[in-house]
Structure 1
């Protein structure tokens, strides 16, 4: 299934114990109500607390023969208004939303003024910011690098190498947008790279990718601006 959600009120994607509300937890709760069976879902990306998604992909197996259009309708009737199942389709049993993905694309929206109507879906860093300077830093990110310096600890990944194929800043009306695509992302990696684009020089980012260490203090950008935009698979 392809899922869209406003992550503002959720403690991230991943299921948590103790009644903490997460997107995965809500989807599994609703699937149990509709299908009357325990269903465990797997997401293509584990978005952090407050991060949104337009094209999150999740896979699950069920013994139910309920038509997909009926299942989707029932889920959307029961899910909180911040979560919406955009589509459902059958896939081969070997499909895995996370491990079958070829790439993921994130979009970050950055406001240069604290506009109230954008506060749920944009990070704020007062500007103005020059596109040329932002893209000079983004250019350094493209390629296969060790992004250990731009991630939070506690990840369950075995390697911190990621292959970035696209990283571009552009202006759209009153905001700046950063699109980045890679085969995989580390925990909070995009938010760190947004902060790096704003506060670091290209040479500093290059050195951090070479050494795995930062030469300065860096905080991840506000999660409100980040959206898991799209996930790519073999057609």
Structure 2
């Protein structure tokens, strides 16, 4: 019996070299989990993630799947048929309590900065990356000029946050909505299509939508002094994102918001498809893969 498992997991990407396995290092999220799966199930298992997060990028809701081939004897031995934990052979499924036990035991072996939130048996045709229809990424920027030492792993830090014109950033972000060729906003080395669709880019202040008149008046006045102890959250939703795309877009928006780049720079990059025109790439630590929809 072959079982296809779907998991939702979270991880702190600070000390890892990204999601994807690499030949020159074992220090990746995929590599760590596959190592545990091999020890637990006694067979080589390939883990398929919904997306390949970069080094230092975090995930709140990464989705992955992997397949395990069971023999009847191994099911009864590992999951204890006498305790009503095992396989529903007629349905071709493991029982729910068996799956929950697997999740708990895998978590006990994983490092504390990687956690499986849910584990379930999926249809054998399910693939975490190929079946995804929408992904949500969130990027966090500290607006605290004191540069909080504890926020440095999870937010981008600005040298002069009081200069940031958030309304200018939000206005410029509208250029990215819709279907575009994002070749200029990626470090994609593949020959596959670079056309993607971004459905929405939402700006929130400390978890609140900033569509409020008082805040917008402050933004237009060029002052965010009232929110210096907060953070800016930028939420991206789309059908898929190329390598480094979100960080390159955020870097472009920050350059516009700080007055270091023209609001027309996005149009110029789309037209030229020239990655070198991107002002800079936002740091990895502020980015979170938040949710994947199927």
TM-score (norm 1): 0.93
Quick check: 1:51 aligned with 2:57? yes
The runs of 5 or more residues in structure 2 that have no matched partner are 1-6, 80-97, 207-228, 257-261
Query: Deviation string for 1:117-169 (max 9, x for gaps)?
Result: 10110111231223211111111110000111111143x36011110001122
- TM-score by structure 2 length? 0.75
1:124 is aligned to 157
**1:16 — aligned with what?**
22
Which structure has the bigger radius of gyration?
A: 2
Unaligned residue ranges in structure 1 (runs of 5+): none
**Aligned mates of 1:192, 1:217 — CA distance in 2:** 7
CA distance in 1, matches of 2:231, 2:154: 11
Match for residue 92 of structure 2? none
Counterpart secondary structure, 2:251: helix
Displacement, 1:217? Answer: 4.9
Instruction: Quote the Cα distance in structure 2 between the aligned partners of 1:95 and 1:74.
Output: 23
The answer as to whether partners of 2:139 and 2:288 remain within 8 angstroms in 1 is yes
Number of corresponding residues: 232
Please say if 1:72 is aligned against 2:78: no
Determine the structure 2 residue equivalent to 1:186. Answer: 242
Once the two structures are superposed, residues 171-209 of structure 1 have per-residue CA deviations (whole angstroms, 9 ceiling, x without a partner) of: 116100110011111101100011111113432212322
Runs (4 or more) in structure 1 with deviation over 6 Å come to none
Three-state SS of the structure 1 residue aligned to 2:45 is: coil
Q: Is the 8 A contact 1:3 1:54 kept in 2?
A: yes
Deviates more, 1:215-224 or 1:54-63: 215-224
Over 3 Å counting, the alpha-carbon distance change for 1:157 and 1:164 in structure 2 is farther
Distance 1:157 1:87 in 2: 35
Q: Which of 22, 36, 46 matches 1:40?
A: 46
- After the TM superposition, which of the residue ranges 161-170 and 202-211 deviates more from structure 2? 202-211
RMSD (Å) for aligned C-alpha atoms:
1.6
Q: Distance in 1 between matches of 2:60 and 2:201?
A: 18
For 1:92 and 1:157, the matched residues in 2 are separated by 31
Q: How far apart, CA to CA, are the structure 2 residues paired with 1:214 and 1:221?
A: 14
* SS of alignment partner, residue 240 of structure 2: coil
